[in-house]
Amino acid sequence: MNLATRLLVDGFNGDYEQAVVVSNDADFAGAMLYVRNNLGLRVTLVNPDAKTRSPTRLADAATYVKRLWKSHLRRRRFPDTLTDDVGVITKPPGW
């Protein structure tokens, strides 16, 4: 419920123009619908489960619905080794 509350409070405060909700939990539908219909803000739903469709109630509350595929994550991951001011960060072998 904390995330739904933040969606509403931040929307009321004008802290965003568009929210992105990464979930497949229909409990977000009420907050998303209120933000879209009453605050006039866009709400994009990103379904992180490639095997399951978003619940109808949740998808209907969103302005846009996208699906997050494993290929999206693979193409956008960090390189195996990163270097910053502190040193070198290396990805564990099992990742």
CATH code for the domain of 62: 3.40.50.1010
pTM, rounded to two decimals: 0.75
Which residues on neighbouring strands pair with residue 43, listed in sequence order?
19
Q: How many CB atoms lie within 10 A of CB 68?
A: 14
- Other CB atoms within a 10 A radius of the CB of residue 31 amount to 22
15: in domain: yes
Tell the burial category of 43 from Cβ atoms under 10 Å away from its Cβ (0-12, 13-18, 19+). Answer: buried
Q: What is the pLDDT of residues 45-57, one digit of tens each?
A: 999 887 889 999 9
Q: Flag whether 29 is in a domain.
A: yes
Is the residue at 69 inside a domain? yes
For 17-64, the DSSP string reads SEEEEE---GGGHHHHHHHHHHS--EEEEEE--TTSPPPHHHHHH-SE
- For 57-86, the pLDDT digits (tens) are 999 999 999 988 777 777 777 888 999 999
Please give the tally of structural domains in the chain: 1
Range of the domain at 25: 2-90
Establish if 95 belongs to a structural domain. Answer: no
> How many Cβ atoms sit within 10 Å of the Cβ of residue 29?
21
Answer whether residue 28 is part of any domain.
yes
